[in-house]
Amino acid sequence: MIITEQTIALLDQTEELTDLIEASESFQTYIQTKAARLASQEAKEIEREFLKMKEDYEYVQRFGKHHPDHDRIKKEMHLIKRRLDVQPEIAAFKKAERNLDKLLGEVSELLAHSVSPKIKVPTGNPFFDEGGCSGGGSCGGGGSCGCAV
- pLDDT for 9 equals 92
Residue 121 — very low, low, confident or very high, per pLDDT cuts 50/70/90? confident
Residue 136's SS3 state is coil
User: How many C-beta atoms lie closer than 10 Å to residue 57's C-beta?
Assistant: 19
Instruction: Give the whole-angstrom CA distance, residue 8 versus residue 5.
Output: 5
User: Would you say 128 and 134 are in contact if contact means Cβ atoms under 8 Å apart?
Assistant: yes
Q: What is the mean pLDDT of the chain?
A: 86
**Ordered alpha helix ranges (H), 5-147:** 5-23, 25-39, 41-63, 70-86, 88-115, 126-129
Q: How distant is the alpha carbon of residue 15 from its chain centre?
A: 23
Chain segment 86-120, per-residue pLDDT in tens? 999 999 999 999 999 999 999 999 999 988 988 88
If you average pLDDT over residues 126-144, what whole number do you get?
47
For 89-109, b/e burial (b = at least 16 CB within 10 A) is bbebbeebbebbeebebeeeb
pLDDT value of residue 120? 87
- The whole-number pLDDT of residue 127 equals 59
Q: What integer pLDDT is reported at residue 107 of this predicted model?
A: 93
Share of the chain above pLDDT 90, in %: 70
- Total residue count of the chain as it appears in this document: 149
Amino acid, single-letter form, for residue 76: E
Residue 2's pLDDT band, with cuts at 50, 70 and 90, is confident
Mean pLDDT of 35-51: 97
